[in-house]
Amino acid sequence: MVDLSIMTSSNPKVPSRAEIKVGQRVWALEKRNYASGELTEGVVKRILTSKPDHPRGIKVMFEDGTVGRVQRLTPPKARLTSGGLPEKKIPVDFDMEGELR
């Protein structure tokens, strides 16, 4: 489970708005996945948050219409499927210090 209180703009793992570009591939947390912490991969179509940073991540819309808060610009440690390909949705868990487990 992801503790959203630890994801602050001072946390280098949550990118600022200036770091996110339209057309960029990112990993975001959809609202429906807050409890599980599952990240969704997508290409940014629109940046929805107007402020320079947000404690839970900048909200974006992917090209497929999915909306989520950006957690990573680079892929998190991927679990491989039985076919050797990374899964598109990857559970993320943080310890008390905000470090990825």
Domain assignment present for 100: no
Domain assignment present for 96: no
> CA-to-CA distance for 46 and 97, rounded, in angstroms?
31
Domain assignment present for 97: no
> CA-to-CA distance for 66 and 94, rounded, in angstroms?
24
Domain that holds residue 59: 4-74+85-91
pLDDT digits (tens, 9 = 90+) for 35-80: 999 999 999 999 999 999 999 999 999 999 999 999 999 876 655 5
> CA-to-CA distance for 46 and 62, rounded, in angstroms?
7
pTM over 0.85: no
Domain assignment present for 99: no
Residue 7 has what pLDDT? Answer: 43
**How many domains is the chain built from?**
1
In sequence order, the β-bridge partners of residue 43 are 25
> CA-to-CA distance for 100 and 98, rounded, in angstroms?
7
